[in-house]
Amino acid sequence: MQAVRLHAYHEWPSLDSVPEPEITGPWDVVVRIGGAGLCRTDLHIYEGQWAPKTGIALPYTIGHENAGWVHEVGTAVTNVEVGDAVIVHPLITCGLCRACRDGDDMHCDTQAFPGVDTDGGWAELLKTSARSVVKLPAGVEPADVAAHADAGLTAYHAVKKAVMRGELLPGTMAVVIGAGGLGHIGIQSLKALCAAEVIVVDRSPEALELAETVGADHLVEADGAHVERVQEMTGGGAHAVFDFVGENGVVQQGFDMTRRAASHYVIGYGENIDVPTIDVISSERSFVGNLVGTYNDLAELMVLAAQQRVTLHTRTFPLSDAVEAMQELHHGRLQGRGILVP
């Protein structure tokens, strides 16, 4: 089969012929890929940022946002059948550890992360597990929702967490920093799950235009005076800030947009948090990390996708144009999410 393989860090991957994955365990599921999302994490992998964390041997197949159709199943699999349309939770989990039994799939003790620390889905076929596949509602096509497997899941998980913490009640205000591939999903998740007013901050007029079309209540251009404008609009700061950028000074800006006892949800990444601890304890503000989401989060998101309440702004590329797609994202020319289709 054809697969996009990374052979060396800081060198663009290549399209290679590799053996098809095989069923080796009773809970294995092989998915025929119908769409695979392109994420900024794929650029960070290319840059070598994940190498110290994963220790993976090169070459390997990247791609961690995957959806398609069940191609083959192990002998114990009963939740899906060959031909079922599915979206793939980004992690392969054991189901037996404390985290899995608590429903916190992304903290599994023995997890594998296809596309990050093992072969992923920028290929014709992907091997995963029965615990990782979510059947798609009727009428939902894999290529239309593939990016929800990570981008959508991560954005939804962060918003749901804030809602469950009671931070986004009616009368509150939330700030979304970055209205791109993740941010435009976060905006829709906020509008679907809570009554908070949503302020979107971005430096791109095109991104702000997209934010408005998906439900943003207020738009603020990041022009150097945006922190002060948000502070004024919110009466001293937002009740929650969702940072989908996480670099180029945005972490400090986002923290400065929060009010006392508010939370800064860190979703995008790339720089360090460098905030005086006295500023944290004196105002009881919090930083909250977000790593993808749970299986149940993904199942809930698919309901919203089927209801057209959370949709994806996408641009498709054939699998053979994976490098072109990565370069488009790298140079900021890709609005929304890129989807590779074998």
The pLDDT tens digits for 152-202 are 999 999 999 999 999 999 999 999 999 988 899 999 999 999 999 999 999
Mean pLDDT of 215-231: 97
Closest CA to 298 of 105, 30, 41: 105
pLDDT reported for residue 270: 85
pLDDT reported for residue 264: 97
276 φ/ψ angles, rounded to the nearest 5 degrees = -55, 130
Domain range annotation of the chain: 2-150+292-341, 154-289
List, as one string, the DSSP characters of 55-118.
-PPSSEE---EEEEEEEEE-TT--S--TT-EEEE-S-B--S-SHHHHTT-GGG-TT-B-BTTTB
Query: 334 pLDDT band (50/70/90 cuts)?
Result: confident
The pLDDT tens digits for 71-91 are 999 999 999 999 999 999 999
Q: d(Cα 240, Cα 198) in Å, to the nearest integer? A: 10
For the chain, what is the mean pLDDT? 95
Say whether 146 sits in a helix, a strand or coil: helix
CATH class (in words) of the domain with range 154-289: alpha beta
pLDDT reported for residue 115: 96
Mean pLDDT of 243-254: 94
* Catalytically active residues, by annotation: 41, 44
Pick the residue with more confidence: 331 or 177? 177
Q: CATH for 2-150+292-341, among 3.55.10.10, 3.90.180.10, 3.20.20.80, 1.10.150.20?
A: 3.90.180.10
% the chain with pLDDT above 70? 100
Residues 230, 220: contact at Cβ < 8 Å?
yes
The pLDDT tens digits for 197-222 are 999 999 999 999 999 999 999 999 99
Peptide bond into 21 cis (omega under 30): no
